[in-house]
Amino acid sequence: MLQTGVLQIQTFRAQQELDKTGIAMGKGELRGNLVGLAMDIVRKGVAYARFANNMVLLQEMGYAESDLKKAPDTVLKDICQVIYDRATANTTALVTYNVTAVMLTNLKQAIDLYNASIPKPKSGIIEKKKATDGLVVLFGTIDGALGKLDSLVEMVRTTQVAFYKGY
């Protein structure tokens, strides 16, 4: 039990040491890409809406870049989905404003990738906490095993003095 416990402690400790900042950095890159793609379409959609006197579309796509940058994760995803949906619904008209099918496909892919990344930093934190919780349990178990071993060594205190002092 003692040897197995020590190996498990080493495994949990390695899990604690894994750097989770890469997860958040990757999410940040996805977020920046999503905002850039969405704002490119917003600018073109707003221009079309103004020239076409389409006030509904103007309101639906009238986001400032700061709105997107400051939005919480799930809100950003929802805003970008609205932008994608409105641009897709007006695809024919937006072609003359240089909104292409490729741009819309790229935006949709960016939305999906970002949405998938939203829970990842939190799950990394949860994994680290589970490792810490596992260590607490293992330390308790190993401490109990060492206590039993201490009791056994006490039995040879006077008969095997050199061994006892070495222990």
Nearest to 93 by CA among 60, 46, 157, 130: 46
Instruction: Give the start-to-end residue ranges of the domains of the chain.
Output: 1-167
**pLDDT interval class at 125 (50, 70, 90):** low
User: What percent of the chain is predicted at pLDDT more than 90?
Assistant: 51
- How confident is the model over 21-76, as pLDDT tens digits? 444 557 889 999 999 999 999 999 999 999 999 999 999 999 999 999 999 999 99
The better pLDDT of the pair 96, 9 is held by 96
Please report which confidence band the pLDDT of residue 2 belongs to, taking 50, 70 and 90 as the band edges: low
Residues 33-64 as b/e (b if ≥16 CB within 10 A, e otherwise) read: bbbebbbebbebbbebbeeeebeebbebbebe
Q: Is the pTM of this model over 0.85?
A: no
